[in-house]
Chains A and B, each alone.
Chain A
Amino acid sequence: MRRFLVLILLLTVAVGFNAFAQGKTTPLTLWTFQPIHLDFYNAAVKVWNAQNPGKAIDLQAEAFPYADLHNKLLVAVQSGVGAPDIADIEISKFPNFLQGDIGLVPLNDVIDPFRDKFVQARLAIYAKDGINYALCFHVGATVMYYNMDIMKAAGVNIDKIALWDDYVKAGQQVVAKTGKPMTTLETTDQWSYWPLITQQKSDFFSPDGKITLDNATNIKTLQFMQDMIYKSKIAVTAPGGFHHAEQYWGAMNAGGFGSIWMPMWYMGRFTDYMPDLAGKIAIRPLPRWTKGGYRSAGMGGTGTAVFKQSKIQDLAKKFLFFAKGSKQGNIMIWQILGFDPIRWDVWNDPAMSAPNKFTEYFQNDNIFKMLLTVKDEIYPVTLTAKTPDLTDMVRNTIMVQVLQDRSKTPAQALKEAADQLRQ
């Protein structure tokens, strides 16, 4: 018995020593709000470890609920303790992190050698006074996803839909022939509304940061959306309020709606949450508002940043740039996440047209070729310190008041919210 115990002791010591001798892997904590992103980071760290044996990383990546993650990060920054090494910060929360003494590490030194290879608008949204604090995943080009079973049943040719007016007409045809709504509109989120106004070179803020929420274009566009539900009756409000609700996924997956406009990053939601639509969805650019108008809009974003509290800032910065700033990383972003990466010099890479789970799911022959046609039709969005508040208003009041209970006209709802924000 005693001999056995001694053996065990020796073994433990040996294993422990062995681990100590090899222990050059540095633990690196990473937080995100999107479980899908974890797949990407775990794949990226594998490649990194293979290429940098001396700087191997033991990635401890965790996904939190959206609100939870941003609260934790904000409290960590304010209190000075508890932040991870790297974290994903969603675009509409990002301005919160650019106030006071900024707790994020400048990334200029890793970006600068390749600066001209990036889509500049996607760097600018996470920069302040010329300093870059985060790297985005994607351009977020907004596109239209059509359920081709329904389009065929209604006899609609989606390639003939050029203008939004055509879209409404096609929608009426779909409703008449199939009894199904052409599309759904979000009442508790902003992805139905925001792309439509940026398509027309409008926004919630002017480029110099003034509130333009209640300008004529925005009022007209919101009226257009309300009319889609109550006048032409081609749309309904999204079940569950937004396009990330289980209820919506269930209904859409069952073939409940003809189409949906969401940014490119929504492809991952199709493949992961709506498996029954595999092979039935075709992606096209958005209809234009006027002849020669823009056919897309760059929406959403996730700025990944390194925190100043990190004890391994240099390694974290290098890994972050490898994952989201390198050519290889950008190709992996497309392959694993189905996002349109922010480095334009990979867009023509043969890897972008190779088959993967997205090319299999969607009907398009070459998703990226379609995307390349709209890359110059993306108007940059403006974020300010008031963006988080404004986003809350769009999500919690404006959309519901105008699209759901119609307690206010578009002009009233937008004016009221804008006036409150101007105070």
Chain B
Amino acid sequence: MRRSIGSGRFAPYLFVLPFIVSFLAFYLYPLVSTIIMSFQDILPGQTHFIGLLNYQRLKNPFMYTAIWNSFRYTVFTIAVLIPIPVLLAVMLNNPGNPANSVFRGALFIPTLVSVVVAGTIIRLLFAASPLAIVNSLLSPFGVKPMDWLVGNASSAMFLLVGMATWRWTGVNIVYFLSGLQNIPRELYEAASIDGASAWYKLFRVTIPLLKPTIIFVTTISVFGGFAMFEESYILWSGNSGGGSPNNVGLTMVGYIYLKGFQGGAMGLGSAIGLILLLIVFAVSLLQLNLFGFFKREEQ
């Protein structure tokens, strides 16, 4: 027995067992059961199949708003959270300057703040009252006090993206910094000898060599963007319905939460979840394809 565990036959299986077990228990089983549930009407103690009814119910304005909001949020966060951290990482990547470690720390701290705390503070900063901080800071510039959170789709999206930028810039800088460490110094030296300017070096050396990191960050941003829920939940959490006025902050995961957990319609929630899965899958494939991820490396 002892020998058989030690032997080459069982050991590999033993080592992958933790993964297999957690995959079966926490990924495959929930996935299969979500697919089944999406065709069911689920009440306490009474569950029966209803065919495609859950999916038909999703043809409603709330679902469209949720998809549109999630999509916009993802696009905007990627548009902001790739270029800015890349530039900041390049600036911070100079070991000669001792101030850089201070900046690095300062930019990373927001990541450590909980969403709940950050969201609550943002909600109060951007309150509707003319006395609220942001409104009172803007008033000397002739900006009328506005209600940032209630009913205004663009200011609501601005706050959501702003909050994401504040929180995630530091993390993305860390990714890009580690990517930058892998770029050989000699390339820059060679470029300098050839007389390349700083901009030229950035666009011809740094960014092309950073591409794997950019692909990685974009991919996780797509997942993160479509999965966004906490930010919107906290910004409008004072709202007892759990939703946001005019559904300006309704995301797909938020809609799952609203229907599945708040409304107890687990079947409907499962159907939304599966649609979300398909959308994220399609977007990721498309994006990886655009980056040429599936092309063979050129010889």
Which residues of B lie under 8 Å from residue A66 when comparing CB positions?
A: 240
Contact B239 A74 (CB under 8 A): no
Residue of A nearest to B250 (CB): A396
Whether, in the assembled complex, A241 has its beta carbon less than 8 Å from a beta carbon of chain B, the answer is yes
Are B241 and A187 touching (Cβ within 8 A)?
no
Bitwise interface map of A from 227 to 265 toward B, beta carbon under 8 Å scored 1, else 0? 000000000010111101111001100000000000000
Residues in A whose Cβ lies below 8 Å from that of B128? 239-240, 247
B245–A404 touching, CB < 8 Å: yes
Interface Cβ pair total, 8 Å cutoff: 114
A70 interface residue per 8 A CB criterion: yes
Query: How many angstroms from the CA of A295 to the CA of B147 in the assembled complex?
Result: 33
A389 touches B261 (CB 8 A): no
Whether a CB of chain B sits under 8 angstroms from the CB of A397 is: yes
Contacts of A400 in B (CB 8 A): 150-151, 245-246
Inter-subunit contact B244/A396 (CB<8 Å): yes
Encoded as 1 (CB less than 8 Å from any A CB) or 0, chain B from 82 to 107 comes to 00000000000000000000000000
B241 touches A392 (CB 8 A): yes
Q: How far is the CB of B69 from chain A (nearest CB, A)?
A: 13
Instruction: State A395–B262 Cα separation when bound (angstroms).
Output: 14
B124 at the interface (CB under 8 A from A): yes
Is the CB–CB distance between A395 and B46 below 8 Å?
A: no
Do B237 and A65 touch (CB < 8 A)?
Answer: yes
Complex Cα gap A423–B61 (Å): 13
Q: Say yes or no: B44 contacts A100, CB within 8 Å.
A: yes
Count of chain A residues near B, Cβ 8 A: 43
Residue of A nearest to B60 (CB): A420
A70–B244 CB distance below 8 A: no
Interface centre among A74, A399, A423 (most CB of B within 10 A): A74
A71 within 8 A of B: yes
Give the chain A neighbours of B245 by CB distance below 8 A. 187-188, 241, 395-397, 399-400, 404
B42 on interface, CB distance cutoff 8 Å: yes
Contacting A at CB under 8 A, from B228-244, are 236-244
Q: How far is the CA of A67 from the CA of B247 in the complex (A)?
A: 17
B258 contacts the other chain (CB 8 A): yes
User: How far is B73's CA from A213's CA once the two chains are assembled, in angstroms?
Assistant: 33
In the complex, how many residues of chain B place their beta carbon closer than 8 angstroms to a beta carbon of chain A? Answer: 35
A102 to B150, CA, bound (A): 37
Q: How far is the CA of A74 from the CA of B266 in the complex (A)?
A: 10
CA of A421 to CA of B263 in the docked complex: distance in angstroms? 14
Q: A395-B239, A396-B244, A397-B247 are in contact. Are A187 and B44 (CB under 8 A)?
A: no
A401 beta carbon closer than 8 Å to chain B = yes
Smallest Cβ-Cβ distance to A395: which chain B residue: B241
Contact code string A218-229 (vs B, CB < 8 Å = 1, else 0): 000000000000
Instruction: Assess whether B43 is interfacial by the CB under 8 Å rule.
Output: yes
Measured CB to CB, the nearest residue on chain B to A65 is B237
Q: Does A103 interact with chain B (Cβ within 8 Å)?
A: yes
| Chain A hits for B238, CB < 8 A | 240-242, 244-246
B289 at the interface (CB under 8 A from A): no
* Contact present for B243 and A395 (CB under 8 Å): yes
**Chain B residue with the shortest CB-CB distance to A397:** B246
Interface flag for B192 (CB, 8 Å): no
Near B by CB (< 8 A), chain A positions 72-106 give 74-75, 77-78, 96, 99-103
User: In whole angstroms, what is the CA distance A389 to B150 when docked?
Assistant: 20
Name which residue of chain B comes closest to A392, CB basis: B241
Contact A396 B241 (CB under 8 A): yes
Q: Which residue of chain B is the closest to A256 with respect to CB atoms? A: B129
| B6 part of interface (Cβ distance < 8 Å) | no
Residue B152 at the A interface, CB < 8 A? Answer: yes
Whole-angstrom CA separation of A101 from B243 in the bound complex: 28
CB-CB under 8 A for A99 and B150, given A65-B237, A241-B238: no
Q: Which of B129, B149, B242 contacts A251 (CB 8 A)?
A: B129
B13, chain A: closest CB distance, angstroms: 33
Contacting pair A101 B45 (CB below 8 A): yes
Q: Is A388 an interface residue (CB 8 A)?
A: yes
Task: Map CB proximity to A onto B255-271 as digits: 1 under 8 Å, 0 otherwise.
Answer: 00010011110100000
Contact with B along A99-140 (1 / 0, CB 8 A): 111110000000000000000000000000000000000000
A189 interfacial by beta-carbon distance below 8 Å:
yes
Shortest CB distance B178–A (Å): 38
Interface string of B123-155 (1 = CB under 8 A from A): 010011100100000000000000101111000
Among B45, B152, B258, the residue within 8 A (CB) of A392 is: B258
For residue A405, which residues in chain B have a CB less than 8 angstroms away from its CB? Answer: 151-152, 246
Given known A-B contacts A78-B44, A245-B238, A239 and B243 have beta carbons under 8 A apart: no
In chain B between 20 and 68, which residues have their CB closer than 8 angstroms to a CB of chain A? 42-46, 60-61
Knowing A244-B240, A395-B239, A404-B245 touch, does A239 contact B261 (C-beta < 8 A)?
no
The interface residues of chain B lying within 8 Å CB-to-CB of A77 are 44
Closest-CB distance, B122 to chain A (whole angstroms): 13
In the complex, which residues of chain A have a beta carbon less than 8 angstroms from the beta carbon of B246?
396-397, 400-401, 404-405
Cβ-closest 6 pairs across A and B:
A100-B43, A101-B45, A100-B44, A395-B241, A400-B245, A396-B243
29 A-B contacts (beta carbon < 8 Å): A67-B240, A74-B262, A78-B42, A78-B264, A78-B266, A100-B46, A101-B45, A187-B150, A187-B245, A188-B241, A189-B239, A237-B147, A240-B128, A241-B238, A241-B245, A242-B238, A246-B124, A247-B124, A250-B129, A251-B129, A388-B262, A388-B263, A391-B241, A392-B241, A395-B243, A395-B245, A397-B246, A401-B246, A404-B151
Interface positions of B (Cβ within 8 A of A):
42-46, 60-61, 124, 127-129, 132, 147, 149-152, 236-247, 258, 261-264, 266
